[in-house]
Amino acid sequence: MKPETAAETVASSEPEAEAKPEAEAKPEAKPETAVDVAGEVETATQLVSDEVNDPEEILQAGGDWPQWGGTRLRNNTPNVENIPTTWNVGRFDRRTGEWDSSEAENIKWIANLGSQTYGNPVVAGGQVYVGTNNGAGHLPRYPNDIDLGCLLAFDEETGELLWQHSSEKLITGRVHDWPLQGICSAAYVEGERLWFVTSRGEVRCLDTRGFHDGEDDGPVKDEVARVADLAKADEAYQGTVEALGEGNVSDALAELLDQRGHKLGENVSIETVEEGSQWKLTGEVAGVERTLDLKVAGPRLSIFKTLSVHDKQDADVIWVFDMMSEPLGVSQHNMASCSVTAYGDLLFVNTSNGLDETHINLPAPAAPSFICLDKNTGELIWQDDSPGRNILHGQWSSPTVAVLGGVPQVLFAGGDGWLRSFKADRGKDGKPELLWEFDCNPKESEWILGGEGTRNNLIATPVAYDGLVYLAVGQDPEHGEGEGHLWCIDPTKRGDISPQLALKVEGDGRVPLEHRRIQAVKPEDGEVAVDNPNSGVVWHYSVVDQNGDGEIDFEEEMHRSCGTVAIKDDVLYVADFSGIFHCLDAKGTDDGKPIVHFTYDMLAQSWGSPLIADGHVFMGDEDGEVAVFKFGKDHSEPLEEIYMGSSVYSTVVAANNTLYISTKDKLFAISKQE
């Protein structure tokens, strides 16, 4: 999925940096390394137990919001109070970006993000975390013409940038790491540890305090980081290399390092490691005694450093699990996008394994789609490849964990359009226990390249509410609008609990069909879809003739959706990609029909999910407006529609009496101001 409806246009209209960092190797620890030092990590982490991290307590507290959806239930309904329902972001100079706050109202602070932002804010431990790209160029060593995936950490009170985790682009390019998309997932925070998925297909555990605590926590220590590159095409290149060979620093190299925040002191020395291609620079760098490594690699001279406690603006990495390397060998489609969650010491991750650039071939059919790691160490506990070769496109949903029917269940929305539930434990022999599976598409629906078909992916995150599970279907927003479905599912059933079964008529009998990627049932081939006697459907919403005129209007349809539902007091809200905001009864009728309270046309596409907080509902859209509704089934018109200055692709978040809204390029902290 490319989270930009005009991603091709954007990528072609904004030139990529000439000095794009293309790391030849990843120096971080591999999964095996993390396992070897399990004892050290467990001691250092001081993890919070799941009992302390109880979802209901977090929802009721109205305090921190430490993951996507706030808790592992993924229901965006914090019990915050005294948050504003009206605000004004002020004006921004189009040329300089300077903020004119003279007309601003209820804006606590503003922070610059990248040029495209899709990660949802997470608030925990006095800090706010957002995934974005490098459009802001916060770090001098990575100016904004270098494309990166960035996870930014801000001070919750002031909006000051504390540190940045920088993910250089994969050398395989847009098939795995689409230009300018950045970090599209949200972090998960517990105590002083943070877990997230990078744009390079890695699961990383970070120290939330970074190097501000004066420690380089491990087992990953002494990370190698890029400082600058000097291209061979640059007129200063030859003179710089010759000077290094003579044990000197050229003026051009000194100026480049100064620009990248690494000004050299008067006394530095050059040591030749390999004649004509590798040197060490030792001495005072940015006021600190350290060594820089200089290497000729491909079409450039690259300068690297070893991260230390002096690098306050950089992230402190604890461990790394690279899903694209062995033993998993995942091949993500365009990007990795999973907001991880945990249950006890178990960390659950959707790997984003998907198709290649042909949109037909699956490069890594044996790679898992869903994995469980030990969050202390990064050790792989189990893996599952249930979608098999039936992945339609990519896999960009996020897992949910809930105790349902007395059983801890982890919900995985797969790339084949099936929702599966596994027992949320350590599994057996490297495999999880499958509890139930549910096909979220009608059996006769068909997958057609480019979004022309009726068979859909699962991009939204499942929500657990009052013993039931809720999920909408959708596709890559680039595929446009189309037919959608919203399901309410009973998770206490077992086995195949899909609405229908796919069968082949053979004589007087019917034979079950194997799951197929393109179309489960082809009527022209003597195949039929029959009602499943073991169906887990509580209710299903696709179309409802609300006004009773015998016709289905555009506003009476559920379209494809990237959005996750939010539910409070049995009132459910969800937005679809066509910009229709739906309000339903969460329980439906006794005979399995949906109850639609109202729909509202926002007149703009919607990528995000609703927030229910302090008696109101907040919903953003691609036009950059946030609609504010009074909570309840009878309030079908917004009180306000507030323009944020640029597109709102993410979800409004509330924590500690403050709203957080990340637009395409800025993060706003919004609270009542005197």
Per the CB < 8 A criterion, the answer to whether 517 and 392 are in contact is yes
Could you read off the pLDDT of 514-558 as tens digits, one per residue? 999 999 999 999 999 999 999 999 999 999 999 999 999 999 999
**C-beta atoms surrounding 142 within 10 Å:** 24
State the average pLDDT over residues 591-612: 96
The mean-pLDDT minimum among 9-18, 380-389, 550-559, 643-652 falls in: 9-18
Per the CB < 8 A criterion, the answer to whether 619 and 626 are in contact is yes
Confidence of residue 674 (pLDDT cuts 50, 70, 90): confident
Beta bridge partners of residue 342, listed in sequence order = 347
For all residues of the chain together, what is the average pLDDT? 91
State the average pLDDT over residues 45-56: 60
**Predicted local confidence at residue 1, as pLDDT:** 53
Handedness of CA 329, 333, 336, 337 (dihedral sign): negative
State the average pLDDT over residues 484-504: 97
Could you read off the pLDDT of 559-593 as tens digits, one per residue? 999 999 999 999 999 999 999 999 999 999 999 99
This model's pTM is above 0.85:
yes
**Predicted local confidence at residue 97, as pLDDT:** 82
**Predicted local confidence at residue 575, as pLDDT:** 97
State the average pLDDT over residues 335-341: 95
**Predicted local confidence at residue 27, as pLDDT:** 33
**Predicted local confidence at residue 325, as pLDDT:** 95
Residue 524 per-residue DSSP state: G
Could you read off the pLDDT of 345-380 as tens digits, one per residue? 999 999 999 999 999 999 999 999 999 999 999 999
Could you read off the pLDDT of 623-647 as tens digits, one per residue? 999 999 999 999 999 999 999 999 9
Fill in the amino acid letter for 523: P
User: What is the length of the chain?
Assistant: 674
Separation in Å, CA 323 to CA 201, 220, 327, 351, 412: 6, 17, 8, 7, 17
Confidence of residue 506 (pLDDT cuts 50, 70, 90): confident
Cα–Cα distance measured from residue 339 to residue 257, given in angstroms and rounded to the nearest whole number: 36
Cα–Cα distance measured from residue 336 to residue 488, given in angstroms and rounded to the nearest whole number: 27
Could you read off the pLDDT of 301-317 as tens digits, one per residue? 999 999 999 999 999 99
Residue 237 per-residue DSSP state: H
**Predicted local confidence at residue 19, as pLDDT:** 36
Higher-confidence position of 136 and 34: 136
**Predicted local confidence at residue 94, as pLDDT:** 82
**Predicted local confidence at residue 265, as pLDDT:** 95
Confidence of residue 96 (pLDDT cuts 50, 70, 90): confident
Cα–Cα distance measured from residue 370 to residue 207, given in angstroms and rounded to the nearest whole number: 25
Cα–Cα distance measured from residue 409 to residue 178, given in angstroms and rounded to the nearest whole number: 33
**C-beta atoms surrounding 637 within 10 Å:** 9
Confidence of residue 507 (pLDDT cuts 50, 70, 90): confident
Beta bridge partners of residue 304, listed in sequence order = 226, 293
State the average pLDDT over residues 150-175: 96
Per the CB < 8 A criterion, the answer to whether 19 and 493 are in contact is no
What is the 3-class SS of 458-516, one letter each residue? CCCCCEEECCEEEEECECCHHHCCCECCEEEECCCCCEECCCEEEEEEECCEEEECCCC
Return the closest-CA partner of residue 205 out of 62, 376, 59: 376
End-to-end CA distance of the chain: 43
Return the closest-CA partner of residue 116 out of 18, 4, 20, 1: 4
**Predicted local confidence at residue 509, as pLDDT:** 85
Separation in Å, CA 1 to CA 151, 352, 359: 19, 10, 11
State the average pLDDT over residues 237-248: 96
State the average pLDDT over residues 338-350: 97
**Predicted local confidence at residue 25, as pLDDT:** 35
Asked if pLDDT for residue 9 goes beyond 50, the answer is no
Could you read off the pLDDT of 104-117 as tens digits, one per residue? 999 999 999 999 99
**How far is C-alpha 671 from the geometric centre of its chain's CA atoms?**
25
User: In the chain, count of helices (H) and strands (E)?
Assistant: 6, 43
Return the closest-CA partner of residue 240 out of 642, 416, 650, 230: 230
Fill in the amino acid letter for 383: Q
> Hey, what long-range contacts does 566-569 have (CB within 8 A, 24 or more apart)?
566/75, 566/76, 566/77, 566/463, 566/609, 566/610, 566/611, 566/612, 566/617, 567/75, 567/77, 567/463, 567/465, 567/466, 567/470, 567/612, 568/77, 568/612, 568/631
Cα–Cα distance measured from residue 581 to residue 39, given in angstroms and rounded to the nearest whole number: 49
**Predicted local confidence at residue 116, as pLDDT:** 94
Could you read off the pLDDT of 177-235 as tens digits, one per residue? 999 999 999 999 999 999 999 999 999 999 999 999 999 998 999 999 999 999 999 99
Cα–Cα distance measured from residue 245 to residue 247, given in angstroms and rounded to the nearest whole number: 5
Backbone angles phi, psi at 60, to 5 degrees: -80, -25
Separation in Å, CA 123 to CA 626, 650, 669: 20, 15, 11
Return the closest-CA partner of residue 475 out of 462, 485, 466: 485
Cα–Cα distance measured from residue 34 to residue 374, given in angstroms and rounded to the nearest whole number: 10
Residue 131 per-residue DSSP state: E
Asked if pLDDT for residue 33 goes beyond 70, the answer is no
Handedness of CA 650, 652, 653, 658 (dihedral sign): positive
Return the closest-CA partner of residue 535 out of 580, 588, 490: 490
Asked if pLDDT for residue 141 goes beyond 60, the answer is yes
Beta bridge partners of residue 464, listed in sequence order = 469
Per the CB < 8 A criterion, the answer to whether 331 and 365 are in contact is no
Per the CB < 8 A criterion, the answer to whether 404 and 465 are in contact is no
Percent of the chain at pLDDT above 90?
Answer: 88
Structure tokens at 423: 């027992």
The segment with the largest mean pLDDT, out of 86-100, 377-391, 507-521, is 377-391
Backbone angles phi, psi at 57, to 5 degrees: -65, -40
Query: For residue 558, what are the contacts with CB-CB under 8 A and spacing of at least 6?
Result: 472, 484, 485, 486, 541, 542, 543, 576, 580, 582
Cα–Cα distance measured from residue 313 to residue 407, given in angstroms and rounded to the nearest whole number: 43
Confidence of residue 457 (pLDDT cuts 50, 70, 90): very high
Asked if pLDDT for residue 656 goes beyond 50, the answer is yes
Return the closest-CA partner of residue 229 out of 389, 528, 373, 24: 24
Backbone angles phi, psi at 641, to 5 degrees: -130, 105
Higher-confidence position of 611 and 17: 611
